[in-house]
Amino acid sequence: MMIHVILCGYGRMGKLIHEAIRECGDMELMLVVDRSNEQELYRLKQPADLMIDFSHPDAFDMVLRYVKYSGCALLSGTTGLSEYQIMRMHQLRYDTRIMYASNYSLGIALMLAIVRWVTPYVREDFDLEIIEAHHAKKQDAPSGTAIRLMQAMQKEESDIQGCKYNPDQKGDIGIHVIRGGSLPGEHTVLYLGDQETLQITHTAYSRKLFVNGAMKAARWLMKQESGCYRIEDMMGGYIHGNTGDD
């Protein structure tokens, strides 16, 4: 089945996604859209099957408008979204299929599973820190992936109040941000104990790994029922034990 795609965002990731669509045989690009040509969305001869969004939070309201209008599936990797934008995205889960991930790396999905398992055992005796490093042009800080890691380390994943740049109480999670060079991305979780340290690190060497993950996720998403999904769901419920429709 051919998947008709609208691509929102034509930065580094958008261009790589475009190239991947051109090279595959089961997707067809209908339109590259941004806020300057939004009206072209509503002049298409047929609605898209899928919108792939790697743009900017300022364009996300446009994305949600078209998804609501057309009922197409949405796969988004745009970081820096507000809580209100995320809430509005989740409101569409009963009408279409949505996957939102700050990082489409399989390794990061596994890292999230690991820190969910490890943290409860060491929370009382170890200091918890996250270090994230990205290229100099990355706009949001901390990264969406660092926030997801922090949430996975909390007693309640929805609780983000323990995120502090200078943690001053036991159990606070510090996030430390590095920006420079051309590094695609590195995330490290540190468990700092008395006379011992446990370190878990994921390093991305190329943006191509995120493109590969996003393309795999897009094909998987098109086979699902309406709901909101995370990349962990694509790997199976064994990581966090639900179907993704939460």
Catalytic residue list: 134, 138
10-residue mean pLDDT profile of the chain (246 residues): values are 94 93 94 92 92 95 95 93 93 95 88 91 93 90 90 68 48 88 92 96 90 93 94 64 41
For 3-100+208-234, CATH number out of 3.40.109.10, 1.20.1730.10, 3.40.50.2300, 3.40.50.720 equals: 3.40.50.720
pTM to 2 decimal places: 0.75
Top CATH class, 106-204: alpha beta
The reported pLDDT for the residue numbered 110 is 87
Rounded Cα gap, residues 44 and 121, in angstroms: 54
Rounded Cα gap, residues 212 and 209, in angstroms: 5
Burial 195-228 (b: 16+ CB within 10 A, else e): eeeeebebebeebebbbbbbbebbebbbebeebb
Torsion of CA 93, 22, 56, 41, to 10 degrees: -70
The reported pLDDT for the residue numbered 156 is 65
Structure tokens belonging to residue 154: 């909390």
Please answer whether residues 54 and 210 qualify as being in contact, where contact means their C-beta atoms are separated by less than 8 angstroms: no
Ramachandran region, residue 241 (left: φ > 0; alpha: ψ -120 to 50; beta: rest): left
Query: Domains of the chain: which residue ranges?
Result: 3-100+208-234, 106-204
